[in-house]
């Protein structure tokens, strides 16, 4: 038998878990995001709309970097991790939809990540627009049983409310930009 995640659930690290066990983690009334909804496209700065109307993201990024530098963030933007010379960690991305697709991977992630030193969340922590109001059900709730630190790199959707939620959660509760 192959150990590839392309061939078996076991190869993907799922083991013998029961189908649908993740449903106990879902918040009541979790809604599925529809990327065909025009309101969703507008809120998520659809590329075509942003090209017509302008996208302030670059200017906002510069302001956040200046604010964090003034607050004493390391100039090289490196997080130093004191620990043993050898360690393992998880890399995940595009996690924050808040519905069944996100929650379905959580039991396997917790199982495979139980002895890891940390996780790097590599993009799009919260869909559709990085709202601080969505972090409870779309970040804290699904990963509450993961005991190690989670570091994140914001994806494009995290910028759509000017990165306020992301900065509060991942950057020492950074105050909003003036």
Predicted confidence (pLDDT) per residue in 30-86, tens digit: 777 776 777 776 666 656 666 677 777 788 888 988 998 898 888 777 777 777 888
Match 């306020």 to its residue by tokens: 164
Dihedrals phi, psi of 50, to nearest 5 degrees: -65, -35
177 domain residue, yes or no: no
7 domain residue, yes or no: no
- Looking at the chain, the whole-number percentage of residues with pLDDT higher than 70 is 82
Number of domains present in the structure of the chain: 1
100 domain residue, yes or no: yes
Tokens for 27, please give them: 């918040």
17 domain residue, yes or no: no
Residue 1 — pLDDT band, cuts 50, 70, 90?
Answer: very low
63 domain residue, yes or no: yes
Positive or negative torsion for Cα 8, 95, 122, 77: negative
Q: Give the DSSP per-residue string, 27-40.
A: PTTPPPP-TT-HHH
Average pLDDT over residues 109-129: 92
pLDDT of residue 147: 94
Considering the entire predicted model, what is its pTM? 0.72
Looking at per-residue pLDDT, the higher value among 104 and 51 belongs to 104
28 domain residue, yes or no: no
9 domain residue, yes or no: no
Residue 131 has pLDDT above 80, yes or no: yes
1 domain residue, yes or no: no
Domain containing residue 119: 33-170
> What span, in angstroms and rounded, lies between the C-alpha atoms of 70 and 136?
29
CATH number of the domain residue 131 falls in: 3.60.21
Residue 150 — pLDDT band, cuts 50, 70, 90?
Answer: very high
- Looking at the chain, the whole-number percentage of residues with pLDDT higher than 90 is 29
């Amino acid at each position: 038998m192959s150990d590839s995640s392309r061939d078996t659930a076991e190869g993907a690290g799922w083991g013998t878990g029961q189908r649908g066990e993740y449903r106990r983690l879902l918040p009541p009334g979790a809604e599925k995001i529809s990327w065909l909804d025009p309101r969703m496209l507008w809120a998520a700065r659809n590329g075509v709309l942003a090209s017509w109307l302008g996208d302030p993201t670059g200017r906002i990024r510069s302001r956040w970097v200046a604010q964090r530098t003034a607050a004493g963030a390391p100039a090289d933007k490196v997080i130093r991790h004191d620990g043993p010379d050898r360690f393992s960690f998880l890399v995940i991305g595009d996690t924050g939809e808040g519905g069944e697709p996100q929650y379905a991977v959580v039991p396997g992630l917790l199982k495979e990540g139980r002895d890891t030193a940390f996780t790097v969340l590599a993009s799009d922590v919260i869909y559709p627009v990085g709202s601080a109001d969505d972090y409870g059900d779309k970040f804290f709730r699904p990963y509450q049983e993961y005991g190690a630190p989670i570091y994140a790199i914001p994806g494009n959707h995290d910028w759509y409310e000017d990165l306020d939620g992301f900065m509060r959660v991942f950057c020492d509760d950074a105050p909003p930009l003036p």
